[in-house]
Structure 1
Amino acid sequence: MSIPIAFAQEVVMSVDQSAYYFLVGENAIVPLTVDNKYEHQINGMLQHSIVQHITQGNTQISQSNTRSSTFPVDSGEQVIPLDFGTSESPLRLSVDLSYRYNDGGDLIATLEPFTIEFVSDESQKNNQQNQMQSTTQQSSQQNNPSPSQSIQQRLDEMMQSPIMPSDPQQRLQNNQIPQDSSSLKQQIYEQLEDENQLRQEFENALATNEQFQEFHQELLERGYNVTGGNLDPATNSTGDFQINYQNEQGEWANLQGSMTNSTIDEIQSQTQQETEQMLEQLRSDPTFQQYDEQLRLDGFTEQNVDFLHDSDQTTIEITYQNEDEQTAKIIGEFEDDTLVDVSLEQQNDNPDWIYWLYVAIVAIATIVYILYRRLKPKRKIPSTPLSVIKQKPFDHVAEAEKLIKEGRQHFEEKNYKDAYGKINQSLRLFLSYELNLNKEVTNEEILKHVPSEIYSVSDIEKCFRVASLVEFAKYAPNQDDFQTIVSITEKIIHKK
C-alpha cells in the first residue's frame, strides 16, 4: 500500500506533453526534466513500463515490457533525453515512469502515463503543451515473511509487469480482440495461460532452492536489494535465471545461473566492485602494460571491455582497433578473482601459405648467405661509426585530440558508451604522459599525481566520474554533460 505525502525535499520528474507525435522512421526523443530538491546526489532506480498497441487486421493486441536501471541524480534540475527508438509503421506506445530511491525511507516518484505515437503523415501530428509532474509516495512497512516467501515475493514483483495483469483471461480482454476472432482468441488465451503457469512453477522451484537462497541471502547481508531480473524456463523446474541487485551507493550486483530438475547446475554472483577490482588488477600488470603500450605505438586505440564468466573462471577481453579497422585483444584470465595469465591476440589477414612462403624464403636466403661467407676471400673491413636510428617520439597531445574527435563522432551516432569512453581515455592518456607516468594507469592513480596548482583536480575527477558512470550504464548520457567534459578535457590538453 502506498500513500501520497508532501515532502520538503524530493525528486520530481516532469514532461511537457501528455502525448508525443513522431513521423514513421523518426527517432522518438522525449525530454524528461528531473528536479532533485536535495542538496546531494540521489542514487535510485528508474523503471519504465511500455505498452505497445499493435493493429493486425481487425485484431488489437497489446504487448508490455518493463525495464529497470540504476539512475543517479545530481542536486538541482536537469533535462534527460529519453530515447524510445523508432518504428517503420504506425504505432502507439503508452509509457509509465517511476523513480524509486531511499533517503531515510523508501520513496517512489510516479509520473502519470503519457503516449508516444508514430504517424505516417505530418498532418496527423498533434503535439500540444500539457505539463505532467510526478507525485511522491512512501511505502508502508510489511510483516517479515519467511526467507523463501520473501524471495518468491520479490521475484513476483520484479518479473510481473504492473501494466499487464497476471490472469490470462484479463490480459486477453485488455487486448481487445473482436468476438468474430474466437479461434485466434482461444489460441492466444491458451498460450498466455501456459506461459504464466510455467513461469510461476519455475519461480517457485527457484525460490525454494537452498543453494539459491544461500547466494541470495549473502548479497542481502552485503547491503544489496533486488531490483529486477529475467527468468527463462524450459520446464517448470529447468531453465536459466538472472537476478539484478543494487545497494544504497548505487552499485550493482547480479546472481545468474541455471537449474535442471530443481537442482542448481551453475550459479555465480558478481558485483560492480569485484569487476572493477579485476580490471584494475589487469591494467596494473606489467605484461598488460607492455602489450598496451606496443599496441598504442602501432596506432591501436582501446575500444571496449568485455567480461566472460565460466564457473570460478573469469576472462576480461579488452579490444583495440586501428584506422585500418584491424583489431587486437589483450586477454586476462582470472581464477577466483586472481589474475593468472595475460595474452595478446592480434588479427592476421595473411593466409597460411604466405607465412610458409616467407619462412622458405628466409631459410634459402640464410643458406645462400652462409655459403657466400665461406667461399668469399676474407679482407679487413675498416670500422665506421654506427648510425643511430631515432624513433619518432609519441605525440600524446595529437593522440588525445584524435580521441576527442572520435568521441564526438560516436556521440553524434548515438554510441554514447563509446563516446564517453573516448573522452575518458583522451584525458587519461594526456595526463599519463604529461605527468611523466608514461604507462597505462587508472583514474585513481592519475588523481594522486595531479598537481592542484596546475590543474583543476575537481574538474578532472568530474570527467572521470561521469564517463565511468555512463560506461557502466549507471548514468543516462546527455548533450550538456558530454559537452562539459569535452570542454574540460580540451582546456586541460591545451593549457599553457
Structure 2
Amino acid sequence: MSPRAAAAVALALSLAAPHAALAQEITLSAEQREYYFLVNEPVRLQVLVNSTHAGTVQGTIVSVFEQSAGGAQISRSNSNSVSVAPGESAIDVDLGTHAAPATMSVDLLLSYVEDGAKLVDLEPLVVHVVEEDAASQNVPSPTSATSQEAQLAQPQQQGGQQAQNAQQRLQNSQLAQDSSALRDEIREQIRQDAAEQEGILESAMASEEVAALHEELLERGYTPSSQSASASPAAQEAQDSQDAQDGGGQDGGAQDGAQGAQDGGAQGDSGSFELAYENAEGQWATIEGEVEGGEVTSAEVRTQEELDAALEALRAD
C-alpha cells in the first residue's frame, strides 16, 4: 500500500472510530401529522430532533412551505445552516398569523455528511387554520423520520410506498399537484449538495498533508468530533449549469443528473472543509483547508489554546 493510501485509510478509520460503538443517526419527529389553529392565532410548530452522533453535526435544513387559501396557491422554501448537538433538541417553525381560513403544508429536510451523505426527510405536516373548534381537532398522531443514505436521482417509479403516501397526503390536503414536483426538485438538490460535500471530505482524508496534521492533533490529546464541507461557488455554478443543460424529460433528467454527478466526481470536487476536534479539557481544534479539483491546496490547524494565547499577548501589549 502506498504512503498516500495508508495515510487516507488511517485518517478515515480514526475519524470513524469514536462513532463505531452504536448506530449514528439523526431523527426528526412531530407529535401530530395535522394541526389546527384558529384564525388570528399565532401558528407555531415544534419539531423534535434526536441525534445519537457523538459530536455536533453540521448540516443544512430546508423548509418547504405551501399554502392554499381562497383558491390561491403559494409555494416557497428556505435553507439554513444548522448545528445538531448530541441528544435531544428542537426546531421551532413559525408560520405567522392568518386572518382567514387556510391550509398549509410544511416539509422539513435535513442533510449532512457523516460517514457518507445523509438525508432526513420528515413527511409533510399539514396545518389547518379554522374559524372555530380548533382545540378538539388536535389529536396525537406522531410521525418521525431517521437519516438515510442520500441517493442521487431516484426515478419516481422506484420511490416505493413512502413516495406514494406522500403524494396521497398532498392530494388529501388539497394542495396543488405541482407541490410534489417542487419537493422532488429540492430533494434532488439536497442530494447533489451532500454528494459534493462528501467528495470534498474524501479528498481531504486522502491527503498526506491533512493526515499529518491529524496525527499531530492526536498526539496533542485531541479526538475527532465532527466534520463539514462546502462546495466552492464556481463548482456550484458549474453544477447548476450542467443541471440546466440536462433538464429534459423527468426520467431523462434523473438519469442525466446521476451521470452529471458521476462526471463531476471524476473531474474532482472543489470547496472548503473543516475537521473538528476536542480534548479532555473541552478545548477545540480544527483542521481547515481548501480542495481544488480533488486535490488539497491548503490545510492548517487552529486551536483554542493558540487563540487564547494570542489574545492574552494582545492584552499584555
So what's the TM-score if we normalise by structure 1? 0.31
Structure having the higher Rg: 1
More strand by share: 2
RCO greater where, 1 or 2, for CA within 8 Å and sep 6 or more? 2
So what's the TM-score if we normalise by structure 2? 0.44
